[in-house]
Structure 1
Amino acid sequence: MDMGADTDAVVERILTTYDTITVVGASAAEHKPAHYVPAHMQEHGWRIIPVNPAGGTILGETAYRSIADLPEQVGLVDVFRPSEATPEIARQAVAAGATALWLQLGIASAEARRIAEDAGLLYVEDRCLIVEQRRLRLEAPSLS
């Protein structure tokens, strides 16, 4: 996909399709974007599934040590990790059956893009969920 209008369409599709966001690199530290971005999305109706190697609890949810440890089907994977870590995360997302991969603002990887797109995943990079949610004035979709 080209950036711009095509990416805007993918962003809107993701935010209107997925009611659960698996957050790789989620943080319990309130000052970090990896905490306050998923917290914002949670406040607007999205369910958050944190993934952090330390485990524990983040945003009131059980934090899983890896994508592979999730006890349910994965849909949207949102990434708060350095760009160089994203190809491996993309491979893990594909292996887990994810259907969308979102790299947060400042995170981009041609290799992660290729892995995701070759597997048919919706793909967004270098965009912030909060910015896009506010711009599109969306709340979590009701899928029940």
Structure 2
Amino acid sequence: MDSEGRIAIVGLSPKEHRDSHKVAKYLIEHGHDVVPVHPKATEILGRKCYPNLKSVEGPIEVVDVFLNPDRVTNVAEEAVEIGAKYFWLQLGVINDDAAELVRQAGLSVVMDRCIKIEHERISRGS
């Protein structure tokens, strides 16, 4: 994951106590360009929020998903459509069909792992 690449967080909550909000804030604090994707919000963490991936302006490198597994397939299709490089499903988000769909399109897939935890682990060098 390139620190220069943009990360779209699908299902990013405007509520500060939610994991998606905490993860996005952490990534921003560590220099990542985070793009909020939420169907109802207009701004989260001081950044313009988009209703879906297809409406995001500019390229996205990583699509990080905080949704129930049954809602992931549509996001996977959009990730392929926009040319993302990585499709990341957070802890507890497991959808093998969506993972296979994006894999077949050439995206790298990470499933059932937290991007914040992995970033912290890699940053520590372990």
What's the TM-score, normalizing by structure 2? 0.93
**In the alignment, which residue of structure 1 is the partner of 2:43?**
57
Amino acid at match of 1:133: H
Separation of aligned partners in 2, 1:63 and 1:23: 10
Paired residue for 2:28, among 19, 42, 47? Answer: 42
SS in 2 for 1:137: helix
Q: Which amino acid aligns with 2:54?
A: A
* Distance in 2 of aligned mates of 1:21 and 1:95: 16
CA displacement at 1:73 relative to structure 2: 1.6
Deviations for 1:11-35, whole angstroms, at most 9, x for unmatched residues?
Answer: xxx2x46532100001110000110
**Paired AA for residue 89 in structure 1:** V
Cα RMSD for the two superposed structures? 1.3
- Partner SS state of residue 39, structure 1: helix
Match in the other structure for 1:89: 75
State the identity %. Answer: 34
Specify the SS of the correspondent of 2:8.
strand
Corresponding position of 2:104: 118
1:123 is paired with a residue whose SS is: strand
Aligned-partner Cα distance in 2 for 1:17–1:112: 25
* RCO higher in structure (CA 8 A, sep ≥6): 1
Query: 1:26, 1:80 within 8 Å by CA — same for their partners in 2?
Result: yes
Q: 1:79 aligns with which of 65, 74, 88?
A: 65
**1:123-138 equivalences in 2 (<5 Å):** 123-137=109-123
CA distance in 1, matches of 2:42, 2:119: 27
CA contact (8 A) 1:19 1:45 kept: no
Ranges in structure 1 where 5+ consecutive residues have no aligned partner: 1-13, 139-144
